[in-house]
Amino acid sequence: MKIELAQIRPILGDVERNFLKHKEIVETSDSDCVVFPELSLTGYVLKDLTFELFRYSEMAVERLIDVAGNKCVVAGTIKEVRPGILRNSAAVIVGGRIDYVYKFYLPTYGLFEERRYFQRGDPARDLKIFRHAGVNFGVMICEDAWHPEPAEALALMGADLILVPAASPMRRLSKSLAIQDSWEALLKAHALMNSVWMVFVNTVGAQEEEFFWGGSMVVSPLGEVKLRLKTFEEDRATYDIDFEELRRARFFSSFRDHISSFHRVLARL
């Protein structure tokens, strides 16, 4: 399975221009699946624009069906799940049909104020596994990767590959980019503990007062970074997912041994 990481700079609030960029990339891609960042059709730092843009982002997703053809496309959007109830979502287009993945953990600290605008997903109903080009994959959105449960659940449900659309802004630039180091550590940990391929696709460029750093990457089930995209600029690249490497990792992994009673203990804390 060949994955294309489409690290783009969405124009904040301009759904039409963002859609046209998605269209161009999908139409020129030779991959099986094209993955865009979190809220790629709208931009991330939306604030009250959220309430004006959700309809346009939903219509843009519908238009992506014709563009996708026989490819899988994962794009960031806003979904109205009930009148007036919005969710930060990833639209997953497979086989000419749209399904949605919803963000579970909504960051509301520092610049982030997602719980002001969005309802979080429900793990009991909204964890999903998709299949394309013979591969089972799951999707989790940005902040969900900073918690252990979503990745573990997707792996145990059958995912061999987890896609992570993200909108991660810069933090603490010194000799190295601290937030990039943190993301690399997280992705390696998820890959190693759950014996899955991890594909992280971050947004890039300025939005309001924030700057997003890009640095998208592919991490193998053995915890190795196989592909890195550029920082601080738009970039595209493809990677062929190797399932022999997945098989080798799982022969020497205990990820299948899940003790659910730990969660009952955690639920009481």
Active site residue 103: yes
Range 205-210 contact pairs with CB under 8 angstroms and sequence separation of 24 or more = 205/9, 205/233, 205/234, 206/9, 207/10, 207/12, 207/43, 207/44, 207/45, 208/12, 208/45, 209/45, 209/111, 210/44, 210/45, 210/111, 210/169, 210/170
How far is residue 29's CA from residue 73's CA, in Å, rounded to a whole number? 11
How far is residue 43's CA from residue 60's CA, in Å, rounded to a whole number? 13
Instruction: Walk across the sheet containing 85-94 and list its strands.
Output: 97-102, 85-94, 72-82, 33-35, 2-7, 235-240
Active site residue 21: no
Catalytic residue among 4, 21, 33, 38: 38
Catalytic residue among 33, 71, 72, 142: 142
What phi and psi values does residue 157 have, to the nearest 5 degrees? -80, -10
DSSP string, 76-141: EEEEEEETTEEEEEEEEEETTEEEEEE-SS---STT--GGGT-PPP-HHHH---EEETTEEEEE--
Catalytic residue among 71, 79, 103, 188: 103
Active site residue 234: no
Which positions are catalytic? 38, 103, 142
